[in-house]
Chains A and B, each alone.
Chain A
Amino acid sequence: MSVYRNLEDTIVALATPAGVGAIAVIRLSGKDAIQITNNCFSKNILNVPSHTIHFGTIRNKEKQIIDEVLVSVFIAPTSYTKENVVEISCHGSPYIIQQLITLFIKKGARMAEAGEFTLRAFLNGQMDLSQAEAVADLIASSSAASHELAMQQMRGGFSDEIKKLRQELIDFAALIELELDFGEEDVEFANRSDLRNLILKIQQVLKALIQSFQLGNVLKNGVNTVIAGRPNAGKSTLLNALLNEERAIVSDIAGTTRDTIEEVLNINGVNFRLIDTAGIRDAKDQIEAIGVEKTLEKINESALLVYVYSMAPDGIYPTEVVQEVQKLARTGLPVIVVGNKVDAYQKELERLVKDDGQMRETLLQQNKDLSATFPTIHISALQKENIHSLKDALYKTVIKGEVRADNTIVSNARHYDALQKAYDSLDAALNGMNNNITADFIAMDIRASLNYLAEITGDISTDDLLDSIFGRFCIGK
């Protein structure tokens, strides 16, 4: 168990379900809960009595206001956990919540583990055993969401990057340890400028990861939402309708969109990163084939798939839609099916009443089946008809937690926390090297960095270091 996660720390987490309701409550518990809050709150709450509520603003490091909040102060031992507790009622926007939690982490709190508030309450004598056993089960079940799962959740090569970094850092630490434990022997040490370059390189990657995972960025830049479908289904028109502006190149020639286009759409405070894609079909030319491949790649990296098909006679049958969506979406990826050109469809139905009743029945039944399989919205992108229903559906998918917006806050805050601290430790190591601090102190910072990375990758042990040493160097008199 890492020494960096323990019961002496001040912890922070969202206490209310994410995304639901106008108000969210963020809870801090631990020795420094009041101090940490005080550091960014507009009023001094260091000496206020317990069980008091204070109105004010919370500002970030750049002194910008994040939100107006109500701060409730509970002084140990008269709190839920019997530790100092601060509860912050803020507005329920995921963006604000993330900003606040990030801020508290920067100020010295860490993300609470699942069930940790309750665990502390129990350990401090606030609860009976039967309640506590329920907590134990909760903790046990969430341990299924352990490192491996956390790694799986990361997309876009992030987990591989972390694994590679970890190994490089272990090898680096091993070099330092080699110098410390076997300095008397005939081993060649990597020179300091090589080491410095390695640290800088690792820091660079960490920085990129931190920025890409910078809290707030995820929901600020949005839930990755891919818009896909056959050529000429009206994807680009839909995008324009959603954004109310002419961004994508719209034409009625199938295959106009050969690259992907990204836009950000804000619905009730939740941001969606809309990614328009080339149409999916058997590509006729090279450029288009690349476009299709890119589409599949984008879907793979997305958190939400909006599949658009044309309901007009130029489109495909609903049964084909089901098949195609099942082919495109990986298991667990939330999907919203959009039937476009509903106006043309209505006309077609009217025509069929007279011409082909049988066909009409078939169409109606197929559309019913499709709606039963996937949430389906019928719109006309061109006429901007029923766009609000689609927006509603998008928002609800997030609120219901289907795109894991709530989990994303937690797991990203955790990763952010770990990555930031790993980065800072490397900074300290670098600083030490610049000051000609001896290797034993540098090693301390490197180890700390590895321990923080272990929050994501799983623990490292001294055996990992020794394995690295003995594998690479001939040691021993």
Chain B
Amino acid sequence: MFPKYDVIVVGAGHAGCEAAVAAANMGSKVLLATMNMQTIAQMSCNPAMGGVAKGQIVREIDALGGYSGIVTDHTMIQFRMLNKSKGPAMWSPRAQSDRMLFAAKWRSLLEQHPNIDFWQEMINGIIVKDGIAKGVRTGIGLEIESKSVVLTNGTFLNGLIHIGEKNFGGGRAGERASIGITEQLVELGFEAGRMKTGTPPRIDGRSLDWEAMELQAGDETPSKFSYTDTPTLKKQRPCHIAYTNKEVHDLLRTGFDRSPMFNGRIRGLGPRYCPSIEDKIDRFADKDRHQLFVEPEGWDTVEIYVNGFSSSLPEDVQYKALRKIRGFENAKMFRPGYAIEYDFFQPTQLKTSLETRLVKNLFFAGQINGTTGYEEAACQGLMAGINAHLAINEEAPFVLKRSEAYIGVLIDDLVNKGTKEPYRMFTSRAEYRILLRQDNADIRLSPIVEKLGMANMEQRMERVEEKVKAAQAIDDFFRKTSVSPDQMNAYLESVGSSKLKQKVKMNTVLARPNVFIENISKNVPALAEYLTQFDEEAINLSEINMKYEGYIRREQEMVEKMNRLESVNLREDFDYHSITSLSFEAREKLSALKPRTIGQASRISGVSPSDISVLLIHVGR
């Protein structure tokens, strides 16, 4: 009934969809197996993509040929560039999506791909022969053969939903949990753990008093995620901001004794940065209000998502407390918030390719690795999909460095450090964030993945080349062209910058604080005229390159220093126990984690600089 597939992807969430597309675009024959084809690419939690650090990841996914950016561009209802008041490395795109359109667009893109087949059924086992993944076993006992398997099970593995004192098995509201895979993996020697996440109640927008809330509109000139030709928003839907208050908190407290969070019924590890509303009130008792983002679920629906009110308190407590929020006095609930516990596998059991150490050609991506967030899941799916394809073709794995992408930071953190709570990306996790910007993800990544053989990269590559060339031209122009005091002094004075005494090259003026290309071109007609031939992206890039030259160079120097260690490879069968000069802890950790390079080894906690020196000696030059 089935051909032999190259890659079987289990699960069709953000990780699964990207994995399927990536492997397919690399040229593999892919089967995407999901329990329910009606819920492909569901946004299980908030209807939004991007945000600080996450938006950068979506841009990186797009630069690498993934579809998350494209899908978001086609389905967004609001766009904002966050952190616009900060430096360019912090600018972070974020979009509200139409939840239903988002899923539909993903499904349609997947259906259009000739290399992707579908199968709707619960997968409850992996076929493993001689330590190599060979396919999957389905609920009705079918065996489907493949050369590799990517597991992207999200919150479904032994998922357990909690609402107050009630709990029941399920992978998502109204959907069954997935049983069997965890048990088999544990039998194979994997170490499983338990995590917890939650989601807020959904509300009927018709019952809310919008006038009582603060309006949060989208950007006046909305941008987008994809480097390809995708549409930009013509109209947008606003979000609103509401606040909890003391009355709300008091009401919520009445349910604490029935909260599965507090009575110990939930044992999984929850995130500290995305706490439930009861957690916020409990941990920050002196804070008398918490901010809530009231977000529409789409263009044509009245359903509302109350971002910031995630809860697993009894539904009646949630309901009563919600109604004490200004603007929510008459709120009707579509469904209560809930907490969900699910199985994950410490990602230290993975190689940097996301292949498991224990079973060859078996890959994990997304929440199964202990991460949280659509973007984090999607980028792992993409990397796992590419690497599954490379592995079965016996090609070297595709690993991004920490200096190349947030995706590199994420995977490097996961496989070297593991995680104690659902892992979310923050810009502070990256050492080289001035280099890892949303505006240059295409330049950083598209050429790499194009060389690997990813399909459909032509348009992106053309633009990269154009953009780099244009930015260089603008750069040259600035270094060659002078501005006179009478052109610039009025402006310089207005921003408190010292006046020019003689003609200077334009780039030296740009280097000053509070001076941007826009300000110069307003005063120097020749520049304005020259810039008309370039698009905004190129101007923006050259501005960043010139204005922050010193900082960028400093980070580049740090990267170059680190790269020497990154380029020294360590063999997987290296016998660390035989090197007695290594500290005992280093021997244990290195044996367990089997780093791929000395650079990776240096980031493992417990491996000291002197251990690294000893390693350098033993691996030779």
Contacts and interface: CB of A to CB of B under 8 A. Distances in A.
Contacts of B555: 444
A186 B291 contact: yes
Interface stretch (B78-86, B124-132, B380-388, B447-455): B78-86
Given A142-B610, A440-B90, A441-B548, A133 B617 contact: yes
Nearest to B82: A184
Contacts of B308: 476-477
A1 B602 contact: yes
Interface string A424-449: 00000000000111111101100000
B610 A140 contact: yes
Chain B interface, DSSP helix/strand/loop, else mixed: loop
Contacts of B283: 474
Given A140-B614, A184-B52, A441 B87 contact: yes
A8 interface: yes
Contact of B426 (A139, A181, A184, A186): A181
A180 B610 contact: no
A183 to B, nearest CB: 5
A455 to B, nearest CB: 10
Interface stretch (B1-9, B256-264, B429-437, B460-468): B429-437
Interface string B606-619: 01111111101110
A21 interface: no
A187 B29 CA distance: 48
Contacts of A115: 613
Contacts of A181: 52-53, 426-428
Nearest to A182: B52
A475 B86 contact: no
Contacts of B561: 3, 6, 8-9
Contacts of B581: 133, 136-137, 139-140
Interface stretch (B267-275, B312-320, B342-350, B391-399): B267-275
A465 B273 contact: no
B280 A474 contact: yes
A2 B555 CA distance: 14
B52 A1 contact: no
Interface in B260-313: 271-275, 280, 283-284, 287, 289-291, 293, 307-308
A383 B404 CA distance: 76
Most chain B CB neighbours (cut-off 10 Å) among A124, A143, A181: A181
Contacts of B429: 462, 466
Contacts of B565: 1, 6-7
A119 interface: yes
A319 interface: no
Interface in A408-437: 435-437
Given A139-B614, A146-B608, A477-B46, A438 B274 contact: no
B192 interface: no
Contact of A113 (B87, B287, B610): B610
B115 interface: no
Interface residues of A, number: 55
A438 B85 contact: yes
Interface in B508-524: 513-514
Contacts of B613: 113, 115-116, 119, 136, 139
Interface residues of B, number: 66
Contacts of A470: 272-273
A179 B82 CA distance: 12
A183 B52 contact: yes
Contacts of B287: 474
A119 to B, nearest CB: 6
Given A136-B618, A180-B86, A466-B426, A143 B608 contact: yes
B122 interface: no
A185 to B, nearest CB: 6
Nearest to B80: A184
A6 B562 contact: yes
B235 interface: no
20 contacts: A7-B564, A7-B565, A113-B613, A115-B613, A116-B613, A122-B617, A122-B621, A123-B621, A129-B620, A133-B581, A133-B617, A181-B428, A183-B86, A185-B291, A438-B86, A440-B434, A462-B429, A476-B280, A477-B293, A477-B307
Given A122-B621, A136-B617, 16 more contacts: A7-B565, A136-B581, A137-B581, A139-B581, A139-B614, A146-B608, A440-B87, A440-B89, A441-B87, A470-B273, A474-B275, A474-B284, A474-B287, A476-B271, A476-B274, A477-B293
